[in-house]
Structure 1
Amino acid sequence: MQQKKTPLPDSLLKIKKELKKKMKSPNVISDLTAEEQALIEKIKGITSFLNKNNVTRTKAYLDFYHRFPEIHWAFLGHMVSRNGGWNMTDLKGSFLSRLMTKREASAFFTFLERGNWLIFQDAFPQFLLYEESQKCGKNLFHLLPHFHISTFMEVIWNHFLQEKDPYTLMMALVINEQNYLEERVLKNPAFIKNVFNTFEFVLQEFLSMNHILFPFTEKGKIKLVGQTLDHFQSLHERILLGKRLYAVLCRDQERFIAVKKWADENPHTGSRKDYWPHLFNDVNEGVPGTLLKPSIRSCQLTKGSSKIYSPMLAFAWKNRIHEPAEIGDWFNDWKVVYYLAEDNENVDGEIKNDYCKTLERLELAATTKKTISLRDA
């Protein structure tokens, strides 16, 4: 997991120096004042309250971004979390419910939900510490170790308070969260056995889970931009995906404003109806036991076809109670600093055609399986 080593600008050389220092002298958790202890408990309480499910997390990211728009990752996290919710409800939707057993769907949901939960319980305390630092006018990031947050992020937040560099902070949060997930989710033996080693995971990665979509309205029509991830289990590729998603979302200011406007006007429910009500419905229009027939052509329904069922999260899955996050700091190599360097890669974000083909392939797979099962009945 190494980014190409291009020469670092002076600001990143400072970060490199601090990261090297941290590797030689890891943090020693200091004693807390009564005020600090109360603040930590307050932040943990707020984070736990907002970490109930994908809908509450996704809204919390957007609400925080409204308060602190300089924290770009909060909005990127909001949009990516929306996609996570759509992937969760797909498991109970028209197509995947026909391709997976209930047990397999539950395993996939557990995988998606655990990752979504873990990222929030790591990222949101950082945001709340930033908020408290702004309120009281002093740096409170020495408290990060009390939330088991990586040493890497203490260096980055200290840098941000001095330099006010939103891109470096955004990219550092991408690096942190993907490394954080690596050991706890991607290398978790239970997920490897029940998710990654199944045929259905290959199907999901090929057909559905690898699209990250950013909707927005242009001239009265909903448009989609985004990116596709081809190697989900590669930490390096997931970090580079974060970099590309930021480019798609933030480099074009008009597009960014349009995506944010769409997000503000369309509360996240988990249903894909949120962005394409012409194609999806959160009410199942299909008749149980009927033979499926192809109904999607270029992301439009054929005449007389029912809309694709895409339930709201609240009706698809119950809230889960999570085991506490595994403790441990992923940071052990200062060379991750090279990922922080901004590049000028041209990322246009075109994704609609690929996504439409994906829906057609997924429908074909579901139709074929349902047809075979009806003939065998």
Structure 2
Amino acid sequence: MSEIDHVNTNHYNYFPSWFIHSCIYTVSSKGGLTIFKLSRKHIKELRQHLKQSIRQSKQADHLTEDEENLIQSIRSRTQKSNQNNVTRTQAYLDFYLKHQEIHWALLAHLVSRNAGWNMTDLKGEYLPKLLSEKEQKDFFAFLERGNWLIFQDAFPQLLLYEESKKQGRPLFHLLSSMDISAFMEPFWKQFWSQSTKQELTISLIINEQHYIEERVVQNKQFKDTVLDTIMFKLQDVFAFNHILLPYISPVQKNTQFVGGTVHHFSSVEDRITLGKGLYDLLFSEQSRFAQTVDWARSTTHTGSRKDFWPQLFNDVKETAPGHVHELHNSPCSFQPKAPRIYSPSLTTVWQDYTHKKSETGDWFKDKKMLQFVKKPVKVLKGDIQDTYCKRIEELEMAAFTKNRFLNK
């Protein structure tokens, strides 16, 4: 497993000199990820590195034949793995298991699992009773587009790093030729020379959320059909945006989870804050981290919530046709004789989606974006399991009420 690198006086070689002599740091009280407080001097120097990256990205590219072939190969491999949520989620995990120094790949794998579960919820036990067929398709298109876009931007970066390892030299000058934001090149170069795992992870979190901001969240089609609709606001009330990080508890001998929630999905700052918090939560406790990796390796992602709670969910519908599933106890009680909640596998309810080409343009144009780098990690409590069970009860009640009083 990758170990967390804590900054102290014995680890000065871990960061470049321009970072160390200008950085004030504190360590998480949980003994987890280091929470940085960056000085003005460091921000100024980082800004200079990023400005240089922007200038270089605007210069004409002169690629060798080998470089052009490499870029084409990376794009082909990315497209093959970007078929649907199941394939891209597995690709993240496969990459992480080969390159465990890239923390973001594991975080992306787990977040992508959650995206798949949200996609299948739209065809599961409750939401079809609350959403029209069109609303289900619109919501799926919204979730799938974001999941697809992040993969097609981030996975080429991972593959370029993999090729750099094979060749024993950094190839990050090719990022701009792959339409990757100028924001990322300094962080990859720094990671290559200094192994700054945490800064690379946080920069990838910032990049992915800004990458989908204009392309998905502020996209007029999705704003009209999803984000600005009453039903999306209802999902926010039901805390639809839970992110669950499962692990196998050695005490309970079953799957438990920690996680967090973003209540304002339309806020890029809130999404970044959650991403950084989830990163800290995932890597902060080494025993639980190991249990999470073990769970991910041993549990194939299907998109069904049966993946993490087979006692509560099933990919075969057990409720009688025309009836609404009723909870007689808290979902977390796992009543043994009650029908399980229907949660289908993704490929049985959604066909592969044909995406139009991604919009062009680099989101990184303003040095003010550095505010997202310098902000410290907001530590999450992680105690989301009871909250998630209450959300299931709310969905059951909403579906039951609509079925009883509005469908007569």
Structure 1 residues 8 and 337: alpha-carbon distance in aligned structure 2, compared to 1, 3 A threshold: farther
Residues 10, 66 of structure 1: CA spacing in aligned structure 2 closer, same or farther, 3 A cutoff? farther
Q: Secondary structure at the match of 1:152?
A: coil
Shift of residue 111, structure 1, vs aligned partner: 0.2
Query: What SS does the aligned partner of 2:211 have?
Result: helix
Alpha-carbon separation, structure 1, partners of 2:329 and 2:189: 51
Report what 2:22 is aligned to. none
2:339 counterpart residue number: 306
Alignment partners' CA distance in 1, 2:95 and 2:291: 19
1:79 aligns with one of 99, 110, 130: 110
Say yes or no: does 1:27 pair with 2:89.
no
The alpha-carbon deviation at position 328 of structure 1 amounts to 0.5
Corresponding position: 1:8 with 2:39: yes
- 2:78 aligned partner: 47
8 Å CA contact 2:273, 2:378 repeated in 1: no
CA distance in 1, matches of 2:377, 2:85: 33
Match of 1:61 in 2: 92
Q: Which residue of 2 aligns with 1:109?
A: 140
Q: Which amino acid aligns with 1:305?
A: A
Runs of 4 or more, structure 1, over 6 Å off, are none
CA separation of 1:157 and 1:84: change in aligned 2, threshold 3 A:
same
Distance 1:227 1:101 in 2: 28
Q: Which residue of 2 aligns with 1:200?
A: 231
Could you say if the C-alpha distance between residues 84 and 59 of structure 1 is closer, same or farther in structure 2, counting changes exceeding 3 Å? same
**Which moves more between the two structures, 301-310 or 46-55?**
301-310
Residues 229-244 of structure 1 mapped to structure 2, 5 A cutoff = 229-244=262-277
User: Which TM-score applies when normalising by structure 1?
Assistant: 0.94
1:246 aligns with 2:258: no
Q: Are the counterparts in 2 of residues 151 and 329 from structure 1 also a CA contact under 8 Å?
A: yes
Shift in Å, 1:20: 2.9
Q: Is the 8 A contact 1:214 1:225 kept in 2?
A: yes
How many residues in Structure 1 have an aligned counterpart in Structure 2?
371
Structure 2 residue runs of 5 or longer lacking an equivalent are: 1-35
Q: Relative contact order (C-alpha < 8 Å, sep 6+): which is higher? A: 1
Identity %: 46
| Aligned counterpart for 2:150 among listed residues 110, 116, 119 | 119
Asked if structure 2 preserves the Cα contact closer than 8 Å seen for 1:50 and 1:60, the reply is yes
- Which deviates more, 46-55 or 150-159? 150-159
- 3-state SS of 2:183 partner: helix
Match of 1:270 in 2: 303
d(CA) in 2 for partners of 1:24 and 1:121? Answer: 24
Q: Deviations over 1:143-168 (max 9, x none)?
A: 11222110001121111111110000
Once the 2 structures are TM-superposed, how far is the Cα of residue 341 of structure 1 from its aligned partner?
4.0
The separation in 1 between residues aligned to 2:322 and 2:101, in whole angstroms, is 52
Cα distance in structure 2, aligned partners of 1:98 and 1:326: 34
Q: Structure 2-normalised TM-score?
A: 0.87
Q: Deviations over 1:220-265 (max 9, x none)?
A: 1221100011111000111111110011101111111110110001
8 Å CA contact 2:262, 2:270 repeated in 1: yes
Q: Is the 8 A contact 2:57 2:176 kept in 1?
A: no
Which has the larger displacement, 293-302 or 159-168? 293-302
1:282 to 309, 315, 329: 315
Q: Distance in 2 between matches of 1:168 and 1:120?
A: 20
Structure 1 window deviating more from structure 2 (63-72 vs 136-145): it is 136-145
Structure 1 stretch 204-213 or stretch 254-263: which is displaced more?
204-213
Report how far residue 85 of structure 1 moved. 0.3
Instruction: Indicate the SS of the match to 1:299.
Output: helix
CA distance in 2, matches of 1:144, 1:296: 53
Q: How do 1:346-365 and structure 2 match up within 5 A?
A: 346-365=379-398
1:114, distance to aligned residue in structure 2 (A) = 0.3
In structure 1, stretches of 5+ residues that fail to align are: none
Q: CA deviation at 1:94?
A: 0.3
Structure 2 Cα separation of the partners of residues 149 and 213 of structure 1: 29
Matches within 5 A, 1:175-214: 175-214=206-245
Separation (CA, whole Å) in 1 of partners of 2:248 and 2:274: 24
CA–CA distance in structure 2, aligned partners of residues 303 and 269 of structure 1: 23
| C-alpha distance in 1 between matches for 2:363 and 2:229 | 27
